[in-house]
Amino acid sequence: MRRLLPLLVLALLVPLAGCGGTPEEGDSAPGTSASPTPTAVPPDSASPPPAVESERDELADLAEQAATEQPTGTITPYGGPVLGGDVSWPQCPKGLGIPQKRTLGMPMPLPEARYVVIGLTNGPGLYPNPCLADQVAWARDRRLMVSAYAVSSFPEPDALARHADEGPYDGTTRLGALRNAGYQQAGFNVASMRTAGLQTPFVWIDVEPVPDFEWSGDLVANAAVVEGVARGYVEAGYAIGVYSTPSLWDRVVGGLELGVPEWRAAGQTSRAEAESRCGDDWVIQGGESVMGQWVEADRDQNVTCGDVHLDMGAWFHQY
């Protein structure tokens, strides 16, 4: 699967303003219900800034290098779709975390789960999952396959001021500063993974409205943050994909197309509905489908799409 990444351009593709629209039934984040929709307004300027060819080529080269450097998975191929789960701060013991996102003590994945995607944040970016190390240990003890996801969010004013010049972009421009802020969100999460001992070849970028930490109404600005996040993970040596739904993606970043693999949410529904999300009707931003997610019995559950079961090592680390 990783052989596709050089074609999944992670570079500075100019985002197009989305047309909004009604979300699919059951849109949700891992461990949450569907979020309120922020009001979308036109970007600051009528025409987005032109793409910078040199930076686009540089980031595409980095993506190819990251894909090449990932070790070949040694996980034995499965004979069909593989069941798994995902966890994050809602599954931590009750009472931890930031005031807006207190942990809930939700149940961990079912015994039948063969993999778990572990969330790195306590809601928005730059706030760590307060029990990340414990969840990694839980997966390791059960010898599960593991990968990671992290929510991306619009930087708070102090974070934007702090990180505007910390990154590969021109921080004197508004979009450059926002890309640098996104780049630092990725760097923060990479540090969290390494501290917790979380090994993975792949990181999923979660893009959706974040209650209490809303995205801006400027879709171009929001897309700049996501572009910076993507570059941060790629430069750190990880392959990347996105978690969202078509409607949630459009609300936040409009027509941004990274072309990376997709993990597609179905919400409070069934495995059959989650498997239907693997189809071409549910493309988020131009990438291949890897997993469908649904919520059942108070758990976020996942099932692999297509032939993903034949090369699980492309997406997961085996403990």
The conformation of residue 14, written as its DSSP 8-state character, comes to: P
- Is 122 part of any domain? yes
- Burial class (CB within 10 angstroms; exposed 0-12, middle 13-18, buried 19+) of 283: middle
Question: Most distant CA pair in the chain: distance in Å?
Answer: 54
The DSSP code for 203 is E
Quote the CA–CA distance of 60 and 231 in Å, as a whole number. 10
Helix (H, G, I), strand (E, B) or coil at 269: coil
Residue 162 lies in a domain: yes
pLDDT, tens digit, 9 for 90 and up, residues 77-122? 999 999 999 999 999 999 999 999 999 999 999 999 999 999 999 9
Nearest to 35 by CA among 307, 244, 289: 244
The total of other beta-carbon atoms located within 10 Å of residue 224's CB is 29
In a domain, 46, yes or no: no
Q: Residue 36 domain-assigned?
A: no
For all residues of the chain together, what is the average pLDDT? 84
**Helix residue spans in 166-259 (DSSP H):** 174-196, 219-235, 246-253
> What average pLDDT does range 44-64 have in this prediction?
47
Q: Is residue 246 part of a domain?
A: yes
CB 291 within 8 A of CB 304: yes
Is the pLDDT higher at 203 or at 24? 203
| CATH (domain of 313) | 3.20.20.80
Q: Is residue 194 part of a domain?
A: yes
Tokens for 259, please give them. Answer: 């072309």
Counting the structural domains of the chain, the total is 1
CA 91 to CA 202: how far, in whole Å? Answer: 21
What is the structure's pLDDT at 75? 84
Q: Is residue 243 part of a domain?
A: yes
Q: Containing domain of residue 286, as a range?
A: 2-30+51-318
Confidence of residue 12 (pLDDT cuts 50, 70, 90): very low
pLDDT over threshold 60, residue 46: no
38 inside domain: no
Would you state the pLDDT for residue 59? 56
Query: Distances in Å between the alpha carbon of 37 and those of 23, 87, 141, 153, 247?
Result: 9, 24, 39, 14, 10
